[in-house]
Amino acid sequence: MKTPKPRFDVVGQLGSLRRYARSLTRNDADAEDLVQDTLLRAYERRGGFRHGKTLRGWLLSILHNRFIDVKRSSATEARTLETAYSLNETSIDAPQEHSVRLGQVREAFFALPEEQRSALHLVAIEGLSYEEAAGTLNIPVGTLMSRISRARATLRSQETEKQPDKSGHLKIVGGRDDRND
């Protein structure tokens, strides 16, 4: 007659697992996550449980090893974030005139009428084709092209008012610039 295998009863071990997890993590939420992760791993690897060992010792061993893995992973993630932050700190702010210029362009763009601004945004910033942008706005392609043309003309006129001595002009991305000087 075969001797029956002992039951894989982890429910009776939950108290010990929770207490040990709390003592390791010092946080109830992290302890619960650790216990759940331990039970999942134990269930997945229950075939590897040697019946000569105590279930409690085996589960506590899994919990401890998982805690160490999580701690190492967190330390690695912290080092990665620290490296990323240190790289970010070495970036150089844009010179003052570029920041001011960008602010001026932004103001000019937001001063455009809504229909011109939305048409120009879809084509120049989002990179949509004229057909896609017209479909998005539910207008004919010709109307879209007219709105973009008026928006560009308005931005150019504002540009020449602010910098009349400059030979260059504001280049609008996303389409042809047909202005001839």
Residue 60's Cβ-side half-sphere holds a number of Cα atoms within 13 Å equal to: 15
pTM (two decimals) = 0.43
113, part of any domain: yes
pLDDT means over runs of 10, the chain (181 residues): 60 88 90 93 83 80 90 88 73 72 84 89 89 91 95 88 58 52 42
Does residue 171 lie in a domain region? Answer: no
Question: For residues 175 and 124, is the Cβ–Cβ distance under 8 A?
Answer: yes
Residue 168: per-residue pLDDT? 47
Question: What was the pLDDT predicted at 167?
Answer: 46
What total number of domains does the chain contain? 2
CATH number, residue 75: 1.10.1740.10
Give yes or no: residues 106 and 149 share one domain: yes
pLDDT of residue 141: 95
Same domain assignment for residues 109 and 135: yes
